[in-house]
Amino acid sequence: MITPKDASIRNREICGIAPIIPVLVVNDVARARGLAEALVAGGLPVLEVTLRTPAALEVIAEMARVKGGIVGAGTLVTPDDVRNAVAAGATFGVSPGATDNLIAACEAEGLPLLAGAATATEAMALLERGYDMLKFFPAEASGGAPALKAIGAPLPQITFCPTGGVSPENAHSYLGLSNVICAGGSWVAPADKVAAGDWAGIESLARSAAQLGR
């Protein structure tokens, strides 16, 4: 069991480790360990494995064995997603939005949830429940850094991790905001490099991303 306050504290700790959280869509579990090791070596130890492929839970289990990695499950939508992610070894969860059932499942399973919000109303509803560390999603489609800055003015007590359309070109605009700790991005693990097992290339991308906002 975890309380909203403790979940927010833990997520803030996790999000403060590196400026970018890799958002990973992995189709082949055989690539999991090499990918995780490359990202950790490059300075991005917090890994979000999205539940968008049949291999995702196996990928989480494999990455959870990598020394130094902190592995979470993304695209949590149902209580079953939560239970399966915890069983696979996920230590935090990320969702595109938030429902009562999803939040209850995460609290019951002791999984810190980084719940998604795109509007002031959604952010306020989560704050009312005790969650003050949130995901801003979809970031670019929801107005980008200017929108998140505007939301932060009347709600300075909420901190965000923007995800969705974040890139090396616009990451600084998000990371420079006072209500942003880190951002989620998929560019550090491009599909072609993962498929080719180009771990040196991915480590290089991670090293560059780890310097953003500094």
Per cent of the chain over pLDDT 70 is 100
Cβ atoms 174, 139 nearer than 8 A = yes
With a cut of 70, say whether residue 40 has pLDDT above it: yes
- Mean pLDDT to the nearest integer, 181-196: 97
Q: Which of 107, 135, 193, 203 is catalytic?
A: 135
8 A C-beta contact, residue 48 and residue 23: yes
Q: Which residue has the tokens 């929801």?
A: 142
Burial class (CB in 10 A: 0-12, 13-18, 19+), 139: buried
pLDDT of residue 214: 65
Domains of the chain, earliest start first: 4-210 (3.20.20.70)
Q: What angle do CA 213, 172, 131 make, to 5 degrees?
A: 80
Do residues 90 and 64 make contact, with C-beta atoms less than 8 angstroms apart?
Answer: yes
Report residue 170 as tokens: 């616009």
State the pLDDT confidence band at 93, using cuts at 50, 70 and 90.
very high
Burial per residue of 87-105, b for 16 or more beta-carbon CB atoms within 10 angstroms, e otherwise: ebbbbbbbbbebeeebbeb
- Pick the catalytic residue: 48, 62, 107, 203? 48
Strand order in the sheet with 93-94: 113-114, 93-94, 70-74, 46-50, 20-24, 183-185
pLDDT at 127: 98
Give the model's confidence band at 213: pLDDT under 50 very low, under 70 low, under 90 confident, else very high.
confident
Residue 135 annotated as catalytic: yes
Collapsing DSSP states into helix, strand and coil, what is residue 18? coil
Asked about 5 being catalytic, the answer comes back as no
| Strand-pair partners of 20 | 183
| Overall average pLDDT of the 108-116 stretch | 98
Q: Are 132 and 113 in contact (CB under 8 A)?
A: no
pLDDT at residue 111, rounded to an integer: 98
Q: How large is the average pLDDT for residues 19-42?
A: 98
Question: What's residue 37's pLDDT?
Answer: 98
